[in-house]
Amino acid sequence: MPLPAHWQAEPGQLLIDPSFSIAITGAEDARLQRAGERFLGDLRRRTGMLPLDFSQTDGKSAKLVVRIEHPSQSVQQLGEDESYSLAVSPSGATLNAPNRLGAMHGLETFLQLLNTTSQGFAVPALHIEDKPRFPWRGLMIDVSRHFIPIEVLRRNLDAMAAVKLNVFHWHLSDDQGFRVESRKFPQLQEKGSDGLYYSQEEIRSLIAYAGERGIRVVPEFDMPGHTTAWFVGHPELASAPGPYTIERKWGIFDPAMNPAEERTYKFLNTFIGEMAKLFPDEFFHVGGDEVNGKQWAANAKIQAFMRSRGIRDSAGLQAYFTMRVQKIVSRHGRTMLGWDEILQTGFPDSVVIQSWRGQESLAQAAKLGYRGVLSAGYYLDLMHPAWQHYAVDPMAGGAAKLSLAEQQRILGGEACMWSEYASPENIDSRIWPRMAAIAERLWSPEDTTDTAALYQRMATLDPRLEELGVTANSSYAPMLRRIAGSDDTSSLRTLADLVEPVKDYTREETAPVEPTSLLPLNRLVDAARPESKSARTFAQLVDALVAGRADADAKDEIRRWLTRWRDQAAELRATEAHAFLLDEVMPLSERLAGIASGGLEAMDYLEGRQPVPAAWKSEQLALLEQAEKPQAQLLLTVVPSIRRLVELGSQPRSSQSK
């Protein structure tokens, strides 16, 4: 995963025993040598082999011979060739690629092909020709709203490399925190970060870490809005007098840089110059989203400036600001990238638009000659299921109607992980495994759209991500233990496996107290997964039942699930008195028990054990309607399946398959 562009199975398999070895041949590339060492380390971890097993050797005796034609660019470039071909036979394997990027993708593919057989560990014989559909396949992580330590980013980079992603977009500043050490303007981090920022040394080390894995690092410094944290140390940049304090709430705030003062551009010139030295990537992201214009409207000097320049509104003022910033970015040898709002005529063609609005925006940009990256539909923090992200194609909608030349300006996509509700503890579970579905959308051929196969591949990938250190699974149990206040979490887990956090932006709307960056993220809504596997499995069982394909075992299984759900409430009630974090969970638990009882009754009626009482169906539907409402900011995901059971159970007996 992602599925290769072309592949062909062949007979037999290549055994991986302690004598397995690889050779890195062709052009010299030290980074590929190190990737070879990492590959052997991964292979050892997968097989339980030890450091003295496996080796790097020469092309003659190696079981896997990797050959590249030329070294890759020292600073990874957008659009470098990432293709590879991999041929595995029972006697050995060869991996050919133009450069190390493709070779590393091929090594990841080889690792994913490893499986256990009756003869030993093995990779099936096959032939793969693979290359990405889009050259820009990214993940953005917001480290401002909640600080995300370097080691968390590092494990996520490992996982990104495993699914062939190639851009890490680092959202480094926002109203809630400025996360980079500036040596030119140390007040930025000293006053704007609560001490939670990355040193330049840490940043260099993370960029190198990403680079070793074939991942570019694009920094974002959001401006002119989303800048409160800058103003704590530098109020002179703002459009209203200070003092400012770090924003603790979420939302869109008034503070914005002052586009009417030359000192703003002087500051940005020095700052962007410093950052362009720190971040070697060609692209420099200047944000540009969600400026509400209130500070500008309230500032007489700014209004006078606008009048003097014939600027009519705040959009026009932002366009002026962005034009100036683009020139600064360009002066420091970088290409500007920004959100939809920066779109205007007059930029160099090289500018890239990242769209949180959708393919129409990208199409519009492409028509103006700009390149674009899609993020709308890939917001991981909105808690949508993988299939939904999977269905979003950068080339769909408005983009589909573009000319071929215009379409080529659509570079790919980028998932966004905004961190209002993400902490180092739960962020992995918000990114993975759903990120892999987006990675596949951006790598694999357009017609790779089978959702069932997607979920199967995601399930296979899951333990591999865990081995790379991703905590999407491993952080779940400790969080549940904390909520239960007990090491025995079986009842809570039954419930937790069935709930999902509320979707889109309803977490704000349903919040019991106003959320801030100071509130602990230790509730069930913070532990619950974005997408319930149990609910999906149960829905499949109910599908089979409705279709008349459920045998006695399947019916028993439906009953077992329902019984477990009915019983969890009484078990939880017994411990609730001791664990304050369960208080808000109990109503949810009771609701689940209630509708599960209804589901069991439906099974009884369905199997003709009892006649259906007159008012039963409407009672059940009322319960289900109640259960559908968010509680503790969580959704009970089995409501639709149980509703189907109720419908089925209350059908007149004659029309029903037994």
**Are the beta carbons of 575 and 487 closer than 8 angstroms?**
no
Which of 60, 74, 79, 118 binds a copy of itself (CB under 8 A)? It is: 118
Residues between 223 and 282 with contacts to a copy of itself, criterion CB under 8 A: none
Residues between 38 and 77 with contacts to a copy of itself, criterion CB under 8 A: 45-53
**Are the beta carbons of 269 and 534 closer than 8 angstroms?**
no
Residue nearer to a copy of itself on the CB measure, 173 or 517: 517
Which of 460, 490, 618, 657 binds a copy of itself (CB under 8 A)? It is: 460
Residues between 120 and 149 with contacts to a copy of itself, criterion CB under 8 A: 120, 146-147
Under 8 Å CB-to-CB from 108, ≥6 apart: which residues?
Answer: 161, 162, 163, 164
Query: Cis before residue 149, ω within 30 degrees of 0?
Result: no
Residues between 490 and 519 with contacts to a copy of itself, criterion CB under 8 A: 517-519
Residue nearer to a copy of itself on the CB measure, 14 or 410: 14
Under 8 Å CB-to-CB from 189, ≥6 apart: which residues?
Answer: 178, 179, 180, 181, 182, 197, 233
Tokens (6 digits) for 136: 């820009």
Q: Does 540 bind a copy of itself (CB under 8 A)?
A: no
Q: Does 414 bind a copy of itself (CB under 8 A)?
A: no
Least Å from the CB of residue 444 to a copy of itself? 23
Site string for a copy of itself, 419-448 (x = CB under 8 A): ----x-x-----------------------
Q: Does 459 bind a copy of itself (CB under 8 A)?
A: yes
Q: Does 520 bind a copy of itself (CB under 8 A)?
A: yes
Residue nearer to a copy of itself on the CB measure, 130 or 571: 571
Q: Does 579 bind a copy of itself (CB under 8 A)?
A: yes
Residue nearer to a copy of itself on the CB measure, 272 or 480: 480
Q: 80, 129, 261, 290: which is the annotated catalytic residue?
A: 290
Burial of 48 (0-12, 13-18, 19+ CB in 10 A): exposed
In whole angstroms, give the CA distance from residue 219 to residue 169: 6
H/E element holding 128? strand 121-130
The position carrying tokens 């759903």 is: 434
Which of 474, 540, 618, 657 binds a copy of itself (CB under 8 A)? It is: 474
In whole angstroms, give the CA distance from residue 448 to residue 6: 11
Instruction: Give how many residues touch a copy of itself by CB under 8 A.
Output: 49
Least Å from the CB of residue 502 to a copy of itself? 19
Tokens (6 digits) for 371: 């390149």
Least Å from the CB of residue 521 to a copy of itself? 6
Q: 612: which DSSP letter?
A: P
Q: Does 452 bind a copy of itself (CB under 8 A)?
A: no
Q: Does 190 bind a copy of itself (CB under 8 A)?
A: no
Burial of 20 (0-12, 13-18, 19+ CB in 10 A): buried
Burial of 451 (0-12, 13-18, 19+ CB in 10 A): middle
Q: Does 462 bind a copy of itself (CB under 8 A)?
A: yes
Determine whether 290 is an active site residue: yes
**Are the beta carbons of 103 and 35 closer than 8 angstroms?**
yes
H/E element holding 56? strand 55-56
Strands 121-130 and 177-178: unpaired
Least Å from the CB of residue 463 to a copy of itself? 6
Which of 18, 346, 587, 611 binds a copy of itself (CB under 8 A)? It is: 18
- What are the residues binding a copy of itself (CB under 8 A)? 18, 45-53, 115-120, 146-147, 194, 196, 423, 425, 459-460, 462-463, 466-467, 474, 478-479, 481-482, 484-487, 517-522, 526, 577-581
Any idea which residues carry the catalytic annotation?
290
